[in-house]
A = this chain, B = another copy of it.
Amino acid sequence: MSLEHAILVSLLEQPASGYELARRFDRSIGRFWTATHQQIYRVLKQLAEDDRITGEEIGQESLPDKKLWSVTPTGRAALVGWLHAPVRPEAVRHELAVKIRGAAFDDAAGRALLVAEVERYRADHETVLAGYLAGERRDFGSAAPDARAALQHVVLRGGIAYERMVLAWLDDVLATLRDLDPERPPA
């Protein structure tokens, strides 16, 4: 389980409530680790029981109270130990690749539906890439980054490289699918 480690990193970068963490997992952290608020609350509970984080009750005017979680020295030591442990090979699960190989068992009309679906999927990735590039301009424009910014930036560059690779590959996929059924009338 790396969700606990992802949460520790995020809390070290900036203490937060469960709700704020969930927001981050929808944005910046979600680039490389997704989680829902249900998972986050469960893991926060465990981390607090093990004294790896501590929560401070914060009363807010005109907003519900929240618990602001911070990493303890114990938690920080646990994270650092984990950093040096072997990285496991990623468990690849690419649904679209399954569909593409499955298209061999479909007919031309069915494959046309798949082409439409791939185009929609491609548009989603264009949007994600645009968001990454906007974030890069916003957060990493100026010079002289500290260690934290340099590391956040290299992770973001990884996301950008991934999205560009996906877009190029999807163009390859679309060309391949269209080559299978060439005699499509223009009207």
Contacts and interface: CB of A to CB of B under 8 A. Distances in A.
B98 A2 contact: yes
A124 interface: yes
A147 B180 contact: yes
Contact of A154 (B8, B89, B172): B172
A81 B33 CA distance: 30
A13 interface: yes
Interface residues of A, number: 70
Contacts of A103: 83, 147, 151
Contact of A105 (B12, B93, B164, B177): B12
A135 interface: no
Q: Is the interface of A mostly helix, strand, loop or mixed?
A: helix
Contact of A117 (B86, B91, B117, B118): B86
Given A104-B151, A151-B101, A154-B176, A96 B92 contact: no
Contact of A87 (B80, B90, B121, B177): B121
A147 B13 CA distance: 50
Given A95-B2, A161-B165, A173-B154, A148 B104 contact: yes
